[in-house]
A and B are shown apart, each in its own frame.
Chain A
Amino acid sequence: MIFLSFSVLTGILLAGLAPLLHRRFATRSAALALFPLAIFAQLCLAIPEVAAGKAWQVALPWVPSLGLSLSLRLDGLGLVMALLISGIGALVIIYGGAYLHGHPFLGRFYSLVILFMTAMLGVVLSDNALLLFVFWELTSISSFFLIGFEHHKANARAAAWQALLVTGSGGLAMLAGFSLLAKITASFEISHWIGHSADILAHPLAPAAFLLILAGAATKSAQFPFHFWLPNAMEAPTPVSAYLHSATMVKAGIYLLARLFPVFSGLALWPMVITSMGLITLVGGALLALAQTDLKRLLAYTTVSALGSMVFFLGLGTTLAVKTALVVLIAHALYKGALFLVAGCVDHGTGTRDITILGGAGRAMPFTATAAGLAGLSMAGIAPLLGFIAKELMYEATLEATLPALLTGLLLVANVGMVAVAGWVSFKPFWGKPGQEHLHPHEGPAALWFPPLLLAALSLLLGAFPQLIGKWLVAPAAQALWQAPLSVKLSLWHGLTPMLGLSALTLLLGIGISAAGPRLQPGITRFWHALAKFGPAAFYPRSLHAVLSFAAWQTTVLQSGYLRLYVGSIVLFTVILAALTLALRPSQFSVPTILPPRFYDVVLIGIILTATFLVTRARSRLATIALLGSIGFSIAILFLLYSAPDLAMVQFAIETLTVILFVLVLYRLPKFKQLSSRATKTADMLLALMGGVLMTALMLIVSAHNSDSHLTRYFAESSLPLANGRNIVNVILVDFRGFDTLGEITVLAIAALGVFSLVRLAKKGGQKRQAPPTGGKQ
């Protein structure tokens, strides 16, 4: 297990290094596949132990205050997922190296795929829900970058956005659900939740937590009504579609539902909501697929359909249904991964993915055609491939459920669609009539045809020897769901059962539709297009547009561009809030009577008040400067009278310099103008008065609470002994608080630099602007 925690960290590191490694080693960089391969091998070694019912576990505290710990756990369910992630990951890296050979972003591709793989491993190994969330979002982000891989295409960017927004908002809902569960159980550890499922189910918030988490799972696994992002995600390079959008990432939602199956399956909502959502997705995906002509979109819609079936069977929740869901998961990853890679080979070899013009490429591409054939047979559910076993199990599970006729009927419809699409994607391009002549199909290098062939061959091998997965993978995984050992017996031949009859019927109907394809398709397409404006896919742009419009509207309201509105609202709210506080918590106003004002004080304050009043009404620049100066000099004298000679001296000097400053720029300043209306002025005056009254009130409250400051005493008493200085103000400035003063003189220097550069740069800029004076007027 230490190995696995290391591999997660190594993965993140390797993702960062991949572009550099690629630049250094160029064509040999497909050796990066050794990393997932090593993980795969290590996981294989763990199979016997996990199958015996043990779970590997490791936990390191990370942010204990948030309940976040690096706790990883490997059990049967995680093992199935991890094997798929690392195994297919290795193949995709090899394949991608050949598929994107010479592509300028190949290094980025490696980096993102390894990052994704690591994150996905993290999702299926995390025992801490917060950790799972972090990895979950990381898969969304790497998916975003991979869908937008060809970022110069507007479609790719839009699709990447859509996938991120849909899965990202689902992820946030999921986090809220996790938080509710943590509130209920006081822990973020998933194994703790499973142990306390009775407490959770008894809690009134349990349905809310379930629905929120379901939103995360449904968006990630492209369930109705969130299915639309997945077909659009086909903008990604084909190896990415094979890996993220069919074999692994989209199964994260399935994984999450399976993982929380022991927590929530007792909830009344579980069978209701999940089966209906799964069923709609299952049937809808298959029927939507029939309207497609692009290889990848065909595969994408059938992926949606297959994901729907897994959700559906998890919703049924019987032991058989749980086993079925797991077998479908494995079988689908193998055949769909292979078919996507095949689609990439076809695209590579012929330059098109349009099934209406493809045909007869099998002779030129024998290996690809073999892989396509085997995977297609598995998808269609034909013995002796793994897909056949999965389909038999599906029928068996629906036949024993409540409402067997309805469920089996709908399943039959979906499976017929699957068979038809399997015929279109895996046989028509290779064995039908020769396609258009200009295609010149040819086989790619071994790195292109070997990975799909290997996956397809595994479908055959595991179909022939189903107990290999039945005993070693499905049974331990089912145990993780059921929390009790389950025996799993998978076999090809059950005798003459109703399921076999249904399989035969499916096949017949499917082949019929497949053959009639070209004639049926236009009608199906028209039907779906007529429905499209009511679908959730049309809702997405509408709601996104609404959000953007709202954002633009409130930005123009808040960012009006009027300084006085900003300042005015700050003052207004400060006054309101402070006044509220003062009213709610009345403090004693003690008007200090000691120290009656002397004659000079009254004169100085009189000058200040008069000058302040006049300055607000002054129209002449010169008068304003004189009035401001008189305020400053009066304050300086006040400083002098009240024991602050240093201040007085500095204030005198500054006033003098300020006058010089104004004299220097005075005639370059604009004249005073009356711009505001009388009403605005009155309103502003009111606001200003409120602000002034508030400040006076606050000052009086502060002086009422004046207490002996120990800071002052410390400075005063240690001034001479510690700092050898008798002027306490100066000692504070240069010694006790020297660091502050250092900061202040730095600010001064920056202000001077600012003035200098403003004047000098403006001079240069002005010359430049003046150089072509006619340019703007033409």
Chain B
Amino acid sequence: MQRSILLSAAAHYLMPLMLVFSIFLLIRGHNEVGGGFAGGLVAASGLMLYGIAISPAALRKLLPIQPHLIVGIGLLSALLSGAIPMLMGKPFLTGQWLKTPLPVIGKVGTPLLFDTGVYLVVIGVVVWILLTLAEE
């Protein structure tokens, strides 16, 4: 694929911005528009923009862990958020919250962990699929 200098320059700057925006979407998703699905998709779009504008290999190098591991970690954190209430004798996936809100993030509880799991799975799945195809 021919490389466009403009696109690759834009990708360099857009990608981190989109990642930050996606985390913002994830955290505020419980109260405002956003959430794990939307955040995950925005992050994945940013990463794929980078992967296509520069190169799939560059994206691989950039990722701290491989996409299939991201999927795994995402699934595990969703399961973990379900397991925590079980330790407290509540049914699987009952929301549990910390009494005091943390600065910036706000109230923290297992649904946030669950949403983070969704976020990671979505990123992992999209990047995994598209990278597999792009690398052929």
Binding site for B on A (CB under 8 A): 645-646, 649-650, 653-654, 656-657, 660-661, 664-665, 722-727, 729-731, 733-735, 738-739, 741-742, 745-746, 748-749, 751-753, 755-756, 759-760
A737–B53 CA distance with the chains assembled, in angstroms: 38
Asked if B132 and A756 sit within 8 Å, CB to CB, the answer is yes
- CB-CB nearest in chain A for B29: A730
Query: Chain B interface (Cβ within 8 Å of chain A)?
Result: 25, 29-38, 41-42, 44-45, 48, 52, 67-68, 71, 74-75, 78-79, 82, 92-93, 95, 97, 107, 109, 111, 114-115, 117-118, 121-122, 124-126, 128-130, 132-134, 136
Partner of B82, one of A661, A724, A733, A742: A742
Query: Given the known A-B contacts A646-B38, A665-B133, are A660 and B48 also in contact in the complex, defined by CB atoms under 8 Å?
Result: yes
Which residue of chain B is the closest to A759 with respect to CB atoms? B132
Task: Give the contacting residue for A657; candidates B36, B48, B111, B118; CB below 8 A.
Answer: B48
A-B contact pairs, 7 of them (CB 8 A): A646-B34, A657-B126, A660-B52, A727-B29, A730-B115, A745-B122, A753-B68
> Do B95 and A735 touch across chains, with their CB atoms under 8 A apart?
yes
A738 to B35, CA, bound (A): 13
Rounded to whole angstroms, the CA-CA distance of A741 and B134 in the bound complex is 29
Interface of A is mostly: helix
- Answer whether A724 and B133 are a contact pair too, CB < 8 Å, given A731-B30, A734-B118: no
A319 to chain B, nearest CB (A): 71
In the complex with contacts A653-B42, A745-B78, A727-B122 CB distance below 8 A: no
Secondary structure dominating the interface of B = helix
**Cβ-neighbour of B38 out of A649, A660, A734 (below 8 A):** A649
Taking A727-B32, A734-B30, A749-B75 as given, write out 8 further A-B residue pairs in contact, using a Cβ cutoff of 8 Å, ordered by the A residue number.
Answer: A661-B133, A664-B133, A730-B34, A738-B114, A745-B117, A751-B125, A755-B129, A756-B129
CB closest residue in chain A, given B25: A649
> When the two chains form their complex, are residues A646 and B126 in contact, meaning their CB atoms are under 8 A apart?
no
Q: Decide yes or no: A661 and B33 within 8 Å by CB, A739-B92, A749-B121 being known contacts.
A: no
Task: Knowing A649-B33, A650-B38 are in contact, say whether A752-B136 is a contact too (CB < 8 A).
Answer: no
When the two chains form the complex, which single residue of B30, B78, B122 contacts A730, counting CB atoms closer than 8 Å? B30
Among A645, A649, A722: residue with most chain B CB under 10 A: A649
CB distance from B22 to the nearest CB of A (A): 10
Q: Which residues of chain B have C-beta atoms less than 8 A from A730's C-beta?
A: 29-30, 34-35, 115
Q: Is there contact, CB below 8 Å, between A726 and B133?
A: no
Closest CB in chain B relative to A764 CB, distance in Å: 13
A633 nearest CB across to chain B (Å)? 14
Contact of B125 with A741 in the complex, beta carbons under 8 Å: no
Q: Chain A CB within 10 Å — which of B95, B128, B134 has the most? A: B95
Let me know if A734 and B121 touch, CB within 8 A: no
With A661-B129, A726-B30, A752-B128 given, is the CB distance from A734 to B41 under 8 Å?
Answer: no
Most B Cβ at <10 Å: residue of A665, A726, A735, A746: A735
Report the Cα distance A664→B134, complex, angstroms: 6
Q: How far is the CB of A639 from chain B (nearest CB, A)?
A: 11
Task: Please give, as numbers and ranges, the residues of chain A lying within 8 Å of B48 by CB-CB distance.
Answer: 657, 660
